[in-house]
Chains A and B, each alone.
Chain A
Amino acid sequence: MSDELCLCVRDLSIAFRSSGRETLAVDGISFDIAKGECVALVGESGSGKSVTALSILRLLPSPAARHSGSIEFQGQDLLKLSERDMQKVRGDDITIVFQEPMTSLNPLHTIEKQIGEILLLHRGLKGAAARERTIEVLSQVGIPNPASRLKSYPHQLSGGQRQRVMIAMALANEPDLLIADEPTTALDVTVQAQIIALLKEIQARLHMSLLFITHDLGIVRKVAQRVCVMKDGKIVEHGTVERVFNSPEHPYTRALMAAEPRPDPAPPQPNAPILLETEHLKVWFPITSGFMRKVTGHIKACDGLTIALRKGETLGVVGESGSGKSTLGRAILRLISSEGPIAYMGNGLQGLTFKEMLPFRREMQIVFQDPFGSLSPRMSVGEIIKEGLKVHHRDLTDRERDERVIQALNDVGLDPATRFRFPHEFSGGQRQRIAVARAVVLEPSFIVLDEPTSALDMVIQAQMVDLLRDLQKRHNLTYLFISHDLRVVAALASRLLVMRHGLVVESGDAAELFKNPKTDYTRALFSAAFNLETAPEGVVEQ
C-alpha cells in the first residue's frame, strides 16, 4: 500500500431542493482513500452514504442537488470538471457497482454488448479485441466458461452471476477507484460471501482503491482497512478498522456495534402439545408450454415437507432465496393452495371453506417482510389494526374494539394516540410494529413471521427481535420464523429447519444445529453468514 492519495474529499455537502425546501443529505464530510486501499462507509439507511457515493461520480440530478466542497481525484476537482470531461472519468477511472443486480443491467442487451459498450467508449476497442477483453474480465470475476456466456441475457443469469457481470463491467477499463454501493445487500448470504471474496481478491491483484458502502458491520471488518461511520449526513467517527471495532469512541458507533440481536431463544418444548403439523406438504407450480398450455413440468416450491410445531416454541426456517421458505409459511396459512394435510391442534385445514376457515384465521396470523407494502396506505393505523376485529369479533362495540387496538399498540410499544395517523407517517421499524399489532390484536396462538426484520436497519432489527421475544413470553405464542439472516434466527429460534430447493436439508434443536451442522450445505450457510467465508465449489450455487 502506498501513501499516495487516490481520492480526497473535503467539506463535501450535498443539499436537495424539492418544492422550495432544501434538505441537507450530506453535511461537510471529509475523507481520503489512498491508492490500493479499501475504505468503508457505514451507516443506517438515510445517513447519506449512497448520496456520497453518487456525488463522487456526479450522478445526482443536477439542479435539484447542490454540492459544495471539493472531491479531488488524482489532482483534479471532480466537482469543477465539465460534463464532457466527467464522462471520461466515469466508467474509466472511477466505476461503480450498484446494489440491485436485477435492475442494473439492461435486460434487452447481451452481456457482451453491455461490457463491449464501455470498452468502445473509453478505449475504442471493437470486434475481436473487445471480445477478448470481455472474456478476460468475465473470467477474472469468476464466471465459469465465459466465452459461452457472452450471448447470454441478464435474465439467464442468477443474481450472484449478474452482480459478477456488473463487477466485470466496472473492471473492464481497469479503474483506479471502484465504488461498491451495497453490492451484496440484495444477495443470499452464501453468494454475498463469494462476491466479497471476489472483490477483495481483485482489489489486491489490480492494486485498485475501493470505496465500500454498506450497513453491515460484519462485511466492513472483513474487507476494509479504514472505516468512516456516517450518521445524519456527517462522519461521526473514522479510523482503522481495528481501532474502530476494538475501541469505538462515538456513542453512535458503540450503539451500532451493540446492535447485534441478543441471542435468547425460547427453550424447546419437547413435551408441549403439537400445535401445528404438516405431512408431505407440496406446493407445485405447473410450467405450461405450447399452444394448448400443456403442463410440461413443475416448479417444486415445497416438495413434501413434514413439520411439527409444539406450543410455545419458535421454529426457525432458513435457506437461500428460492428455497421455498416463504411458500411454506403461506401454504400453512392457506394463502396459496397446496397438497398434503395441514393440521392445527388436530383439525385438518385442507379443503375447509372460507367460512370454516375463519375460526382458524383468528388463531394463525402472519407478519410480512416489507413494512412499506404490508400496510394499506389508505387506511389509518387504527383502521388497519381494527380490520381483523371486525371480521372475528362482530359482537364488539366500536369502543371495545378501540380499546383492543389501544391495548395492541401498547403491546408493541407504540403510542396509542398515533392510531389516527396513516402508515406513511411512520418509520420502517414503527410500521413493522404496526404489522405485528395487527396480528396480535386477534390474540392468536401462532404467528408466521416472514422475514420480519430483513428490511430494517441493524439497530431496529435488534429492537424488533426483543419485541417478538417479549410478546412470545407474555402471550405464549408459537412462531414460525422465516429468515435468511442467521444471526436473527439464532437469536429467536428454538428449533431450526434448513431448506433448499423445497426440501428439508436438516432440522433439529437450534443450539445443537448451530454447533454441529451435519450437512455441507448447512455448514456453508453458517460460515457464510457468521464469518463471510465462501464454501468449496459445488456446495452452494453461484
Chain B
Amino acid sequence: MDDKTRTERTLELATGGASGAPEFKPDIEPAGPLGLSGLPRGFEFSPLNIRRWQNFKANRRGYWSLWFFLVLFVVTLFAEFIANDQPLFIHYDGKSYFPVFFTYPDTEFGDDMGTAADYRDPHLQTFLDEHHAIEIWAPIRFSYRTINDNPPSAFPSKPTWMLNDKDCAFAEKNGYAKCGTLEYNWLGTDDQGRDVLARMIYGFRLSVLFGLVLTIVSSVIGIAAGAVQGYFGGWTDLLFQRFIEIWTSVPELYLLLIISSVLVPGFFVLLGILLLFSWVRLVGLVRAEFLRGRNFEYIQAARALGVSNGVIMFRHLLPNAMVATMTFLPFVMSSSVMTLTALDFLGFGLPPGSPSLGELLSQAKANVQAPWLGLTGFFTVALMLSLLIFIGEAVRDAFDPRKTFA
C-alpha cells in the first residue's frame, strides 16, 4: 500500500497538480510584453505559509490559546502601568511629573529628606494634597516589592475581600489596620507583606521573558551547531557528537546548584547557566535534517551553480530544518519556564526579592494556612504552561507536511 500511495502522489504531481492543490494557483498580475510588470511576491507570505497559517487556525484550541497568551504577555509587558507603587502621572505646582519613568527627589514635592520620593508615604501625600496635585495611579498601587504597611493581620494576610467580621474584630483588638481603612490586596499578601497579585503579574512577565530569551538563544546556538555538524559531516560531526554525548552526561541539576551557589544568581547569570545545557536539545534534530537535506538534488544543483556553503546552509537547508525546529520551540519554551520555576522553588534561582513564581510556590509550601499563595502560584504556572503546550500542538499541526501538502 505504501508503494501505491507514493505512485499516486507522483501521479498527481505529474499531472500538474491537477488534483493536487488547485486552490493554490497564485494570481498573477497581468503581464506586460516581457512579463516584467508581474509583481514579485517577496512581500507576501508564500502559499506554503498561508496554508500553514490556515492549518494553525484550524486547531481552534491552539489558535485561541495563542491569542490569550499574547494578550496576557503584552498586558504583563506593561506591568508597571498595572501594578506600581508610584503614580503614573502627577501634576504638581503647574509642573508635570512622570514617576513611572523618572525618579524624583522628594524635595520636588516640598518634603525635606532629599531621597527618592516614596509616594505611598503618608507624609509626602500630605504635601501633595496641600497643593491639590493631580495624581493618576495604576489600578494596583503595589509594586512587586512594595510592602503593605497597614495589613489587617500578621503576614501573610488574607485577600481583603475574604475578610469577615471575625477577622475585622481581631484586627481591631490587636492593633492592626481597621477593615474600613484597608488598601485592597486582591490576592492577599505573601509572608513579607508584598501584594500577591502584583507579584504574580511581574512574575508572569519575568518567566515568559526568561523562557523566551532562553529559547531563542539556545535555539540559535543549537541550530548553528546542528547545521554545521549535519552539513559537513565526517570528522566534524563525529567529534561534535562525542563532545555532546559527554556534555549531556554531566549531571545538570547538581552543576546548576554548585554554580548558582558560587556566582550571585541574577537574570543573566541564570540564563547563562541554563544555556550551557539547553542548547543541546535541538542539535540532534537539526543535524538529522541537514544530513538528510545535503544530498537533495537541489542542494547538489546549488553547489554546481557555485553557491557558497554558508548560503546553501542558510537559504536552502535551514528552511527544511526550521519545520522540525519550529514544532519544537513552544515545548522548549515551556520546559525553560519550568526549569526556572523549579530552581526558584528550591531557592537557587533568581535573587531574593525578585518576583518569581517558584518563590511564591515555596512560600505556599511554608505557609499551608495561607492557601491563596499556593492557589495563585499553581494556577498561574498551570495556565502559562498549558497555553504554551496548546500553542505547541497547533504549531505541530501547522507544520505537519501531510497536512500542508494534502
Q: Which of A45, A370, A426 contacts B11 (CB 8 A)?
A: A45
In whole Å, how far is A58's beta carbon from the nearest beta carbon of chain B?
Answer: 12
Interface flags, B22-37, vs A, CB<8A=1, else 0: 0011101001001110
List the A residue with the shortest CB-CB distance to B47.
A422
A46 lies within 8 A of B298 (CB) = no
Q: Which residues of B contact A354 (CB under 8 A)?
A: 308-309
Is there an interface contact between B304 and A100, defined as CB atoms closer than 8 Å? no
| Residue B113 is within 8 A (CB to CB) of chain A in the complex | no
Q: For B40, what are the chain A residues with a Cβ–Cβ distance below 8 Å?
A: 380, 382, 420
B173 at the interface (CB under 8 A from A): no
Task: Tell me whether B297 and A370 are in contact (CB under 8 A).
Answer: yes
- CB atoms of A417 and B307 under 8 A apart: no
Give complex CA distance A374, B303 in Å: 12
Cβ A372 vs Cβ B13 within 8 A: yes
B3 touches A104 (CB 8 A): yes
Per-residue 0/1 for B1-29: is the Cβ within 8 Å of any A Cβ (1 yes, 0 no)?
Answer: 11110011011111111111100111010
Name the distance in Å between A415's Cβ and chain B's nearest Cβ: 7
Q: A59-B1, A98-B3, A417-B31 are in contact. Are A387 and B14 (CB under 8 A)?
A: no
- Classify chain B: how many residues form its interface, as a range: 35 or more
Stretch touching chain B among A132-140, A193-201, A361-369, A501-509: A361-369
Does A392 sit within 8 A of B, measured CB to CB? Answer: yes
Q: Closest CB of chain B to A67's CB: distance in Å? A: 15
- Note all chain A residues with C-beta closer than 8 A to B308: 354, 391
Shortest beta-carbon distance from A277 to chain B in Å:
19
Chain B residues in 8 Å Cβ range of A399: 36
Knowing A335-B300, A388-B306, say if A424 contacts B21 (CB, 8 Å).
yes
CB neighbors of B among A310-324 (8 A): none
How many Å lie between the Cα of A442 and that of B301 in the bound state? Answer: 13
Residues of B within 8 Å of A392, CB to CB, are 305-306
> Which residues of chain A are near B20, meaning CB under 8 Å?
424
Q: Which of B41, B300, B307 has the most CB of A within 10 A?
A: B300
B24 & A425 in contact (Cβ 8 Å cutoff): yes
Partner of A403, one of B34, B48, B301, B302: B34
Bound-state CA distance A362–B305 (Å) is: 7
Interface string of B48-62 (1 = CB under 8 A from A): 100000000000000
- With an 8 A cutoff between CB atoms, is A458 at the interface? no
Q: Return chain B residues, CB-CB under 8 Å to A419.
A: 35, 38
- Which residues from chain A contact B1 at a C-beta distance below 8 Å? 59, 61
Cross-interface CB contact of A438 among B47, B301, B316, cutoff 8 Å: B301
CA–CA, A50 and B297, complex, Å: 27
Of the residues A46, A357, A427, contact of B306 by C-beta under 8 Å: A357
Is A421 in the interface zone, CB < 8 Å from B?
yes
The contact string, 1 if C-beta is below 8 Å from chain A, for chain B 269-302, is: 0000000000000000000000000001110111
List, in ascending order, chain A residues with CB within 8 A of B8's CB.
50-51
Contact call A374/B297, Cβ cutoff below 8 A: yes
Instruction: From the candidates B13, B303, B319, name the one contacting A424 in the complex (CB within 8 A).
Output: B13
Q: Which residues of B contact A416 (CB under 8 A)?
A: 31, 34-35
Chain B minimum-CB-distance residue to A47: B11
Contacts A354-B308, A365-B304, A419-B35 given; does A375 touch B3 at CB 8 Å: no
Q: Output the nearest chain A residue to B9 by Cβ-Cβ distance.
A: A372
Q: Is B246 an interface residue (CB 8 A)?
A: no
B46 on the A face (CB < 8 A): yes
B406 within 8 Å of A by Cβ? yes
A16 cross-chain contacts in B, Cβ below 8 A = 19
A442–B305 Cα distance when bound, in Å, is 9
Question: Interface readout for A405-422 with B: 1 if CB under 8 Å, 0 if not?
Answer: 010000000011111111
Q: What residues of B have a CB within 8 angstroms of the CB of A364 in the complex?
A: 304
Q: How far is the CB of A461 from chain B (nearest CB, A)?
A: 13
Cα distance A362–B14 in the bound complex, in angstroms: 30
Interface flag for A347 (CB, 8 Å): no
Nearest CB of A to B294, in Å: 12
| Closest chain A residue, CB of each to CB of B39 | A420
A45 touches B10 (CB 8 A): yes
* Chain A positions 44-95 with a Cβ under 8 Å from a chain B Cβ: 44-46, 50-51, 54, 59-61
Check A425/B14 contact, CB under 8 A, given A362-B306, A387-B307.
Answer: no
Query: What separation, in Å, do the CA atoms of A365 and B304 have in the docked complex?
Result: 6
A357 CA to B306 CA in the complex, in Å? 8
Is A374 in contact with B298, judged by CB distance below 8 angstroms?
Answer: yes
By beta carbon, the residue of chain A nearest B322 is A378
Docked Cα-Cα span, A15 to B7, in Å, equals 16
Are B298 and A391 in contact (CB-based, < 8 A)? no
B residues near A60, Cβ cutoff 8 Å: 4
A364 to B305, CA, bound (A): 8
Contact B3 A402 (CB under 8 A): no
- Of residues A46, A373, A406, A442, which shows the largest number of chain B Cβ atoms within 10 Å of its Cβ? A46
**Is residue A358 within 8 Å, beta carbon to beta carbon, of the partner chain?**
yes
Interface contact B36-A378, CB-CB below 8 Å: no
Q: Which residues of B contact A361 (CB under 8 A)?
A: 304-306
- Shortest C-beta distance, A129 to chain B (Å), equals 30
Separation of A333 and B305 alpha carbons in the complex (Å): 10
In the complex formed, the residue of B with least CB distance to A333 is: B304
Taking the closest CB of chain A, its distance from the CB of B304, in whole angstroms, is 5
Q: How far apart are the CA atoms of A50 and B1 in the complex, in Å? A: 12
CB–CB B38/A50 < 8 A: no
In A335-376, the 8 Å CB interface with B consists of 335, 354, 357-358, 361-362, 364-366, 368-370, 372-376
Q: List 19 A-B contacts (CB under 8 A).
A: A45-B11, A50-B4, A50-B11, A361-B306, A365-B305, A369-B297, A391-B305, A402-B36, A416-B31, A419-B35, A419-B38, A421-B26, A422-B46, A422-B47, A424-B20, A424-B21, A426-B17, A428-B13, A428-B14
Query: What 3 pairs between A and B have smallest CB-CB spacing?
Result: A361-B306, A416-B35, A374-B297
